[in-house]
């Protein structure tokens, strides 16, 4: 464990978000397994999924296979891989998400020395920075009409969900809560944002109205539920949780009912995203020693390996 933490210290930019995800787990065996899988840092390749295109034909992901962490797209069958960013070591371009209609991509990067939100065209051109402050700015998500981007930021001393116009103007704190509020995903109907918060003592999935007036805990348990995503019709929310003793992907209704596990409980599976049609899910697993990307039907059947870096 000491070596693994030392690894994070010496390579802080590339793995800061991953460390954050790992450290969110309270179950020690899960944290140890994940840290072990990532312990060698540059000696191992890691891929992280982040989003589906609107027609579910492509996915966005990040990978350090080239030596730097860059954003890629590929067809859902693994073909036509295309690298969209190219930057200096430890820039850590991560968590890319498509705008509605897929013409733009928002992501975060450390390329300017601090985690900031960026935007680019879908082919990787016209990369522009949207945030500029000394706090971290992570995990962008587009409003359904494409006019706004939500993200989370530590600029005020604890993480909050912010909303800004898609050109970076008018940045507004939505959550205003002393606990940590992270990993937003805008609802398909535009009326709310689902996110994770530890305001009730554990990481739980919350849904906050877009005016910030009401926030509901959809998890209501004593485990850690994290990284929620919506199906395109807004009926389903997926997330990962440590409730089985390992990290697994779960699906529930948008009101927090009918929870069921998707992935094999014998291995760690984490960082998922449900397809827009709600029929499939992509996620990561460390079962082969590297962090690789997998896809399965939403009932967990027909799992395939998407990446073999």
Residues that bind Ca ion (CB under 5 A): 114, 116, 133, 137, 158, 160, 177, 181
Q: Coil, strand, or helix at residue 291?
A: strand
Nearest-approach distance from CB 203 to Ca ion, in angstroms: 13
User: Cβ closer to Ca ion: 122 or 227?
Assistant: 227
Phi/psi zone of residue 118: left (φ > 0), alpha (ψ -120 to 50 degrees), beta? beta
Closest to 275 measured CA to CA, from 256, 242, 309, 302: 302
User: Cβ closer to Ca ion: 54 or 158?
Assistant: 158
Q: Which residues of 172-199 are buried (b: 16+ CB within 10 A; e: fewer)?
A: eebbebeebbbbbbbbbeeebbbbbbbb
Nearest-approach distance from CB 206 to Ca ion, in angstroms: 11
Nearest-approach distance from CB 150 to Ca ion, in angstroms: 14
User: Cβ closer to Ca ion: 114 or 221?
Assistant: 114
DSSP secondary structure string for all residues of 176-204:
--SS-EEEEEE-TTSSEEEEEE-TTSS-E
User: Cβ closer to Ca ion: 143 or 171?
Assistant: 171
What is the separation of C-alpha 156 from the centre of its chain, rounded to a whole number of angstroms?
21
- Residue that the structure tokens 């009926």 belong to: 235
User: Cβ closer to Ca ion: 74 or 218?
Assistant: 218
Nearest-approach distance from CB 113 to Ca ion, in angstroms: 9
Tokens of 27: 């179950």
Compute the distance between CA of residue 279 and CA of residue 286 in angstroms, rounded to an integer.
23
Q: What are phi and psi of 130, to 5 degrees?
A: -105, -25
Residue pair 237/228 in contact (Cβ under 8 Å)? The answer is yes
User: Cβ closer to Ca ion: 53 or 127?
Assistant: 127
Closest to 307 measured CA to CA, from 286, 295, 293: 293
């Amino acid at each position: 464990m000491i070596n693994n933490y030392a690894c994070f210290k010496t390579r802080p930019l590339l793995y800061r978000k991953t460390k954050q995800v790992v450290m969110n787990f309270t179950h020690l065996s899960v944290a140890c397994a994940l840290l072990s899988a990532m312990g060698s840092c540059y000696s191992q390749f890691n891929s992280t999924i982040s989003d589906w295109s609107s027609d579910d034909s492509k996915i966005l992901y990040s990978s350090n296979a080239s030596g730097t962490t860059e954003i890629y797209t590929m067809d859902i069958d693994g073909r036509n891989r295309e690298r969209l960013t190219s930057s200096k070591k430890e820039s850590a371009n991560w968590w890319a998400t498509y705008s509605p209609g897929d013409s733009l991509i928002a992501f975060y990067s450390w390329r300017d020395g601090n985690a900031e939100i960026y935007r680019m065209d879908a082919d990787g051109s016209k990369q522009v920075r949207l945030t500029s402050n000394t706090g971290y700015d992570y995990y962008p998500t587009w409003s359904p009409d494409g006019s706004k981007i939500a993200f989370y930021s530590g600029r005020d001393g604890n993480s909050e969900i912010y909303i800004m116009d898609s050109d970076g103007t008018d940045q507004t704190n939505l959550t205003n809560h002393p606990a940590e509020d992270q990993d937003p995903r805008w609802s398909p109907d535009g009326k709310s944002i689902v996110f994770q918060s530890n305001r009730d003592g554990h990481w739980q999935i919350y849904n906050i109205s877009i005016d910030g007036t009401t926030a509901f805990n959809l998890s209501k348990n004593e485990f850690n539920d994290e990284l929620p995503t919506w199906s395109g019709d807004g009926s389903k929310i997926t997330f990962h949780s440590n409730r089985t003793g390992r990290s697994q992907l779960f699906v529930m209704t948008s009101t927090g009912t009918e929870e069921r596990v998707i992935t094999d409980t014998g291995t760690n599976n984490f960082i998922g995203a449900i397809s827009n049609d709600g029929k499939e899910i992509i996620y990561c697993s460390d079962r082969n020693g590297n962090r690789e990307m997998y896809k399965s039907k939403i009932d967990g059947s027909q799992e395939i390996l998407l990446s073999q870096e």
